[in-house]
């Protein structure tokens, strides 16, 4: 939200639509002062304010939220890049007033991803308000609306909750997922059965993504610490060619995202090979799109010591690891890894 040079944003929004007033009231009633709630929590409050039935389709839901909160969708032609955006600007002044205009665009996202990207961009307005509210007593460290890591996580969680509410996500079990697969997907998943990796595969993630209008990466975000990974005894990681996020240098195949069972952890930003994903580099360079290759690996994983929340030990985990390279038009190429992660 680079154009958000309005402070306070809250008063601009309150002026805009009554839904904002109702939402702020709901926030004030349930979120402590000085705290920015999670994106999912903020989205639940949006649902409750609009009283939308949980069965509303994601497409309807996103457009209802936009309308109720007075957020316009820009012309498709106005978005040039692959990234969506959210902007605030001033309308042409009329005789009586000049108003702030709140606008979002989904960039060149394909139809299946449009709703998710729009919901994410809408979330930036909600985040800006909550950040402003949390910092009301102090001077903000960064300008409102900056795309920090925290802001991005909030917006994805908000978007995921709108597309696929938590009560839906709680229904996900291995049996539920298996029933969702098409016969062809089931056949493809079954090719991994000799490695014991057929219960949760790229095809399961893809099916979840299309069922709920999510991206594969949004599904992985929803699966982090989800009970289904405890049930499957599995972990999921996404690697990508990126520079070190702290130094901005040393581009390499690094851990970009993960979904962990409740007892496990791996280290974000660290190179794939340094965590035992030794075949990742070659497979990333050579394999074709959406083709799964299984290789044995000896992974360095962290395990929570029993009953001690903050204590971790490093464990070497010899396991079969299923790698799938995925080319996404708007995001570039990434490598998915799914493996056994015993307790
Ligand atoms: Zn964003």
Is the per-residue pLDDT at 297 higher than 70?
yes
How far does residue 147's CA lie from ligand 1's centre (Å)? Answer: 6
How far does residue 84's CA lie from ligand 1's centre (Å)? Answer: 8
Least confident of 72-81, 190-199, 245-254, 255-264: 72-81
Q: Give the pLDDT band (50/70/90) at residue 4.
A: very low
How far does residue 41's CA lie from ligand 1's centre (Å)? Answer: 17
Beta-bridge mates of residue 323: 293, 337
How far does residue 289's CA lie from ligand 1's centre (Å)? Answer: 26
| Tokens coding 159 | 């978007």
Between the CA of residue 53 and those of 49, 117, 179, 242, what are the distances in Å?
A: 11, 22, 25, 41
Q: What per-residue confidence (pLDDT) applies to 262?
A: 94
How far does residue 56's CA lie from ligand 1's centre (Å)? Answer: 24
Between the CA of residue 23 and those of 14, 58, 68, 153, what are the distances in Å?
A: 10, 20, 11, 21
d(CA 220, CA 227): 13
Is the per-residue pLDDT at 14 higher than 90?
no
State pLDDT tens for residues 104-129.
888 777 777 888 989 999 999 999 88
Least confident of 15-29, 36-50, 162-176, 239-253: 15-29
Of residues 108 and 146, the one with the higher pLDDT is 108
> What kind and span of H or E run contains 235?
strand 234-242
How far does residue 133's CA lie from ligand 1's centre (Å)? Answer: 19
pLDDT mean over 206-213: 92
How far does residue 29's CA lie from ligand 1's centre (Å)? Answer: 27
Residues 6+ apart with CB under 8 A from 340: 196, 197, 233, 234, 317, 319, 320
d(CA 60, CA 66): 10
The ranges assigned to domains in the chain are 9-166, 171-340
Residue labelled with tokens 């130094």: 247
- CA 214 to centroid of chain Cα atoms: 9
- Count CA within 13 A, CB hemisphere, residue 9: 26
Beta-bridge mates of residue 253: 241
What number does CATH give the domain 171-340? 3.30.450
How far does residue 87's CA lie from ligand 1's centre (Å)? Answer: 11
How far does residue 43's CA lie from ligand 1's centre (Å)? Answer: 15
How far does residue 155's CA lie from ligand 1's centre (Å)? Answer: 6
């Amino acid at each position: 939200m680079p154009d958000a040079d309005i402070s306070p944003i809250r008063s601009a929004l309150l002026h805009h639509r009554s839904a904002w007033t109702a939402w702020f009231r709901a926030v004030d009633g349930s979120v402590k002062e000085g705290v920015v709630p999670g994106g999912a929590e903020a989205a639940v409050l949006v649902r409750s304010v609009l009283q939308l039935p949980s069965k509303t389709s994601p497409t309807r839901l996103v457009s209802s939220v936009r309308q109720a909160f007075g957020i316009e969708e820009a012309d498709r032609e106005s978005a040039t890049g692959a990234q969506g955006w959210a902007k605030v600007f001033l309308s042409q002044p009329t005789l009586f007033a000049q108003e702030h205009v709140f606008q979002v665009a989904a960039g060149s996202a394909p139809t299946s991803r449009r709703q998710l990207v729009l919901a994410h961009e809408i979330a930036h307005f909600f985040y800006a308000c909550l950040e402003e509210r949390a910092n009301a007593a102090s001077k903000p460290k960064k300008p409102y609306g900056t795309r920090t890591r925290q802001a991005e996580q909030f917006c994805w969680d908000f978007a995921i909750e709108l597309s696929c509410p938590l009560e839906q996500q709680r229904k996900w079990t291995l049996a539920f997922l298996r029933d969702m697969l098409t016969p062809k997907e089931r056949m493809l998943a079954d090719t991994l059965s000799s490695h014991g990796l057929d219960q949760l595969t790229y095809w399961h993630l893809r099916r979840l993504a299309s069922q709920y209008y999510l991206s594969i990466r949004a599904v992985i975000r929803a699966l982090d610490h989800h009970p289904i990974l405890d049930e499957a005894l599995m972990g999921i990681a996404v690697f990508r060619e990126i520079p070190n996020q702290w130094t901005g240098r040393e581009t390499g195949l690094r851990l970009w995202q993960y979904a962990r069972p409740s007892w496990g952890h791996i280290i974000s930003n660290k190179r794939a090979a340094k965590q035992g994903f030794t075949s990742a580099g070659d497979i990333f360079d050579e394999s074709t799109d959406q083709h799964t290759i299984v290789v044995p690996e000896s992974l360095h994983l962290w395990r929570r010591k029993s009953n001690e929340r903050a204590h971790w030990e490093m464990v070497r985990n010899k396991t079969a690891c299923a790698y799938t390279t995925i080319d996404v038009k708007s995001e570039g190429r990434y490598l998915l890894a799914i493996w056994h992660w015993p307790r």
